[in-house]
């Protein structure tokens, strides 16, 4: 188990915020995760668990313990891969394709680690982690017990799981087992996948061609956190009552929306932020990405407080213009 005091987290959050934590502990296997669990039980300090820190905004130094998984390894059994929670998820996608195991192509280039994929139920272009996950191995912090958690127990929904709610901070994930298919069933009807493939003259891609296309689409749309600090979509898309949407739609022609059910409609937060004139704008050293208004960026040296100030201003502007509250999707610490 690795232990550091007064540790700088700049390399552990994709916003690139320069913040420290009182203690940093890292486990590399199940036995070390049990040691960390015992340490957390005996400490009076608060703690958070992080993976790649790509869904995280640190607003200040953290006066507690930051736990990080460095569990590595990918083991194959039939069509299943059991992957250490500290493996980079996109490396697993690349490896699966190289092994002739299919199903993860559309999840290519989503930042973050394997452990978080099971917490966040990451998704893109019609695919979700839950479609691949079969079980999660984790140490329960309160007891130190090793648990095998079946996918069915995780209550997976759109970017949701029990790990984000009643199981928050309950488990240290050690590994995730994904089940793939030996037959390639490409999912091409999402976003501009087909249009991009057509540009390259590809009607029916191989899995590797599909992965490369997804990567190209994402690179064109989203800032690379290594170049411009960010945490992907910063705000959740709000769900409003249908009457609220109808009133707004009468006022704003072409307002995009997705029907949730008969009574509820989801409105893209990015569109509202763009309508408020924020796309490409900055406040201090924090800003709004010029291609996607849902993404807040660190233009260089921004503090977490600067990002929060920008977030609050955007929330106020969206509320003033549309009467709708929007909330961060990222974990704000």
Ligand X SMILES: Cc1cc2nc3c(=O)[nH]c(=O)nc-3n(C[C@H](O)[C@H](O)[C@H](O)COP(=O)(O)OP(=O)(O)OC[C@H]3O[C@@H](n4cnc5c(N)ncnc54)[C@H](O)[C@@H]3O)c2cc1C
From 54, 69, 233, 306, active-site residue: 233
Stretch that binds ligand X, among 2-10, 38-46, 110-118, 270-278 (CB under 6 A): 110-118
- Asked about 285 being catalytic, the answer comes back as no
Q: Residue 113 interacts with ligand X (CB under 6 A)? A: yes
Smallest distance, ligand X to C-beta of residue 269, A? 15
Q: Residue 230 interacts with ligand X (CB under 6 A)? A: yes
Q: Report in angstroms the alpha-carbon separations of 15 from 9, 51, 184, 222.
A: 11, 14, 35, 13
- Asked about 282 being catalytic, the answer comes back as no
Q: Residue 85 interacts with ligand X (CB under 6 A)? A: yes
Name the H helices within 131-263: 193-199, 207-221, 242-251
CB-wise, 54 or 245, nearer to ligand X? 54
Q: Are 255 and 267 in contact (CB under 8 A)?
A: yes
Q: Residue 304 interacts with ligand X (CB under 6 A)? A: no
Give the separation between CA 252 and CA 275, rounded to whole angstroms.
10
Q: Which of 39, 56, 65, 286 touches ligand X by CB under 6 A?
A: 56
Q: Are 121 and 156 in contact (CB under 8 A)?
A: yes
Q: Residue 237 interacts with ligand X (CB under 6 A)? A: no
Smallest distance, ligand X to C-beta of residue 15, A? 8
From 20, 159, 218, 242, active-site residue: 159
Q: Is 195 helix (H, G, I), strand (E, B) or coil?
A: helix
Give the separation between CA 222 and CA 290, rounded to whole angstroms.
10
CB neighbour list of residue 212: distance below 8 Å, 6 or more residues apart: none
Binding interface with ligand X (CB under 6 A): 14, 49-56, 69, 85, 110-113, 115-117, 119-120, 122-124, 159, 171-173, 222, 225, 230-232, 331
């Amino acid at each position: 188990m690795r232990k550091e005091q007064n540790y700088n987290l700049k390399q552990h959050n994709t916003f690139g915020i320069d913040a420290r934590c009182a203690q940093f502990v890292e486990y590399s296997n199940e036995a070390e995760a049990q040691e960390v669990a015992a340490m957390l039980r005996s400490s009076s300090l608060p703690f958070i668990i992080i993976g790649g820190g790509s869904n995280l905004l640190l607003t200040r130094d953290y006066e507690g313990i930051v736990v990080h998984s460095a569990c590595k390894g990918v083991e194959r059994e039939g069509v299943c891969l059991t992957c250490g929670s500290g493996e980079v998820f996109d490396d697993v996608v690349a490896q699966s394709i190289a092994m002739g195991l299919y199903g993860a192509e559309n999840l290519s280039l989503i930042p973050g680690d394997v452990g978080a994929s099971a917490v966040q139920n990451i998704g893109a272009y019609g695919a979700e982690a839950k479609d691949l996950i079969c079980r999660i191995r984790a140490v329960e912090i309160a007891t130190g017990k090793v648990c095998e958690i079946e996918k069915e127990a995780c209550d997976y929904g759109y970017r949701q799981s029990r790990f984000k709610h009643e199981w928050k901070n309950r488990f240290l994930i050690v590994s995730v087992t994904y089940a793939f298919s030996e037959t390639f069933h490409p999912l091409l009807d999402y976003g501009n996948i087909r249009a991009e493939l057509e540009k390259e003259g590809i009607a029916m891609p191989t899995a590797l061609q599909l992965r490369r296309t997804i990567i190209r689409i994402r690179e064109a749309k989203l800032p690379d956190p290594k170049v411009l600090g960010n945490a992907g979509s910063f705000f959740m898309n709000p769900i409003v009552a249908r009457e609220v949407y109808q009133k707004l739609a009468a006022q704003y022609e072409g307002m995009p929306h997705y029907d949730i059910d008969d009574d509820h409609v989801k409105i893209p937060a990015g569109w509202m932020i763009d309508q408020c004139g924020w796309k490409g704008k900055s406040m201090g050293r924090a800003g709004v990405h010029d291609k996607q208004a849902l993404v807040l960026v660190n233009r260089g040296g921004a503090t977490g407080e600067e990002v929060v100030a920008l977030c609050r201003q955007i929330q106020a502007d969206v509320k003033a213009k549309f009467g709708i509250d929007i909330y961060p999707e990222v974990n704000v610490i």
